Structure 1
């Protein structure tokens, strides 16, 4: 059986011709596309009135990139906080503010009644007449710890430890009727307070329980031989001597000869609170 084969040279020639046509077609289309693309880009540039010769050509990956807003650039920048004592009645911060540090203390709250607020107005008015600019306290409580610093991730363990420690502490009653003068550790403020008489022993035992939690976090425990009190008012600076010698007798006389009889402050100690930063945790005491 005979089979007819075409010449190999003719096949190669035909194949070369076809490839050349294809290559020419592809090259022509590519060049045409490039020319069209360049023409389109130039027209786009010229339509905005830009100088084509001076136009900077950006890399492809940067052409669609948008600028980062300033608000995002400054979002995580550390703020420099400057404390201005003039904005806080002359009060000075006990320790420097740092991000992530939470000022924390434990206390027994007291909600004032009308009789207490009237007496407070009389006390501050008398103190000012004696040349002592006494300011009202912003809130009323019995402090059961010093102000300590907690890191944010310590807050929940600290609160839980307190809750466990206070589980068996029973509620009790406190009474106060004698004034006393106090100052903070830095001697930047002086206070007039009502000193607790009845309930002092229970408060002492309570601070021992709280100190155990504070020691777990290696923080400063409460004062030795504390004088538990409710602050009525404060003034800037160390005015301890002036208040004790010139003001305290007259202020105490005001309480002793009150129109309804000697004033006595009564506090039902049925709830403890822990304030850390702007958070307040409550610990109800069982009966």
Structure 2
């Protein structure tokens, strides 16, 4: 249906901060995930800088995320000729959903599955039911293409920053408590971290598809 236009990719971790691919690149395979984008405002970035500055007393400096989002699927692999049918199915399953708010204000530490990277994130504390409904529909699409569904008990969150390796022990406990205090005391944090979700996106390789909510 579609011609494969990818060039061979050699994974060099030195070019992206020591990060390693979750799965190796293969010609014709496109790393894909579904998410909701968050456009960071100046106040949000000010809060993030406070968190990162405080974190340096406990662990290796974290690197701020290039962009912010809330994941609605795992990272999966699509063959190139699956992309358009996959996107069309996502569009159909997302068509009935309305825009909604959620609050993301609980600081939490995460690692990826192989524990090669550690993240500081803000976990969702309200709006969880709407997110679960969205994931339920996205899981139906995954099933159509024999791809893994999302986690059974997901911790919906926005990743803020990352570092290489498993730094959980250094960031949990006292550090995490102090980061939470910073969030709680930040001016207007209750309003700042109440997020209005307006669209779903799917990124497959270098292609991004958008599905506005009603």
TM-score normalised by L of structure 2: 0.93
Counterpart CA distance in 2 for 1:97 and 1:226 is 26
SS of equivalent residue, structure 2 residue 56: helix
Match of 2:104 in 1: 176
Superposition CA RMSD, Å: 1.5
Deviations along 1:9-33, one digit per CA (max 9) or x if unpaired, are xxxxxxxxxxxxxxxxxxxxxxxxx
Counterpart CA distance in 1 for 2:120 and 2:81 is 36
Counterpart CA distance in 2 for 1:223 and 1:184 is 13
Deviations along 1:164-194, one digit per CA (max 9) or x if unpaired, are 1111111111111110111100100011100
Counterpart CA distance in 2 for 1:144 and 1:131 is 29
- Whether 2:7 is the aligned partner of 1:82: answer no
1:125-164 pair list within 5 angstroms = 125-164=53-92
Match of 1:104 in 2: 32
Counterpart CA distance in 2 for 1:200 and 1:119 is 23
Distance 1:169 1:80, change over 3 A: closer
- Whether 2:212 is the aligned partner of 1:284: answer yes
Q: Which runs of 5+ in 1 are unaligned?
A: 1-77
Counterpart CA distance in 2 for 1:179 and 1:131 is 16
- Whether 2:178 is the aligned partner of 1:241: answer no
Decide which structure has greater helix share. Answer: 1
Q: Which runs of 5+ in 2 are unaligned?
A: 1-5
Q: Which among 126, 130, 143 is matched to residue 215 of structure 1?
A: 143
Counterpart CA distance in 2 for 1:217 and 1:137 is 30
Counterpart CA distance in 2 for 1:124 and 1:86 is 23
Counterpart CA distance in 1 for 2:188 and 2:74 is 34
Deviations along 1:32-53, one digit per CA (max 9) or x if unpaired, are xxxxxxxxxxxxxxxxxxxxxx
